[in-house]
Amino acid sequence: MPKLNLGKVVGDKGDSFVFEDFTPEQLDGLTPKMLKGNVTTLDPDQNATVDIRKDGLNNYIDFGIPRGKNGSEIKSISAENVEMANGNTLENAMTAANESISGIEEPAFDDTTSTYTTLAESNTAAETTSNAIQSHTSIFSTLSNMKKSLSAIVQGLKILGTNVGGIHGISSALDSQREDIAASSKAVSVLNSNLMEISSTQELTNNYMRVFYSKRGQTISLYIEQNKAKLSYNTAYKLGTLPNGYCPLRSFANMVALGRDTPVMAYLSVGSGGDVTLRPYGDLPVEGYTYCYITFVCK
């Protein structure tokens, strides 16, 4: 500690003196001052320090305080050193959570499926299990019914594909570039044409004559076979309207002969919208046989 000149006292010689010149007994009763000294910020890994620095009767306390680590400096923190808001440690909280998780049962549901050999069976099974899927029921029951329903649908599609293939000899492997493959868009178009070709003859509804029509490819055949009522001279009779897919490319009209023994000429027209109209140029009796047959190309 540096020498402190305490001044001069009246004595024999009046010599000056310093703090160390006094004995403890002489300093008894004098109170030193304790003052805050310097505060220094230390690195996070350093230990805190406290130092007392004296200056005469003044004592200064100097502090060294480590700062906290920032996010980039924190590598890992032990769970036992992290305290939750309720005073519990993170380690204890995780232990309880792990015990709860270990008690959860693994999901399990009935994943068995049935085998169906007909389209009707698969359709019925798919609809039944699909209808069983309802809200406010066990998720495991829902998953089970979903799998059963999807399995029935997939099997139904396979059966349908086999049945469709048999209509027109579709038997080769999947290849969208081939016309005889059920899976390709081209094959769907071809299949539609094939289905039309094998469709049965249908009748146009009217009160005058029995009129039938059928389709093979893009060709429509129209038959007039028998009268239902007496048809009068030069009167137009609408015999019905052909459905979409059976209408001609454009409207046309033909003169046709109706009847066997004494044929009657008639004007038969088919509009682009499918309307079929007949205008006979002679009377036609009830139940008279008036066979007529024409063909045309549809749209």
- Helices 139-167, 119-131: axis angle to 10 degrees equals 160
Q: Which residue has the tokens 């270990």?
A: 102
Confidence grade of residue 190 (pLDDT, cut at 50, 70, 90): low
The pLDDT value recorded for residue 277 is 95
The pLDDT value recorded for residue 79 is 61
Q: Could you tell me the pTM of the whole model?
A: 0.36
Confidence grade of residue 2 (pLDDT, cut at 50, 70, 90): very low
**Percentage above 90 pLDDT, the chain:** 22
Confidence grade of residue 11 (pLDDT, cut at 50, 70, 90): very low
Over residues 31-40, mean pLDDT: 84
The pLDDT value recorded for residue 83 is 67
Q: Which of 18-27, 135-144, 204-213 has the lowest mean pLDDT?
A: 18-27
Mean pLDDT of the chain: 79
Q: Convert 10-20 to b/e letters by CB count within 10 Å (16 or more is b).
A: eeeeeeeeeee
Q: Which of 84-88, 135-139, 226-230, 280-284 has the lowest mean pLDDT?
A: 84-88
**Tokens representing residue 141 in the block:** 């029951």
Over residues 282-297, mean pLDDT: 84
The answer on pLDDT for 46 being more than 50 is: yes
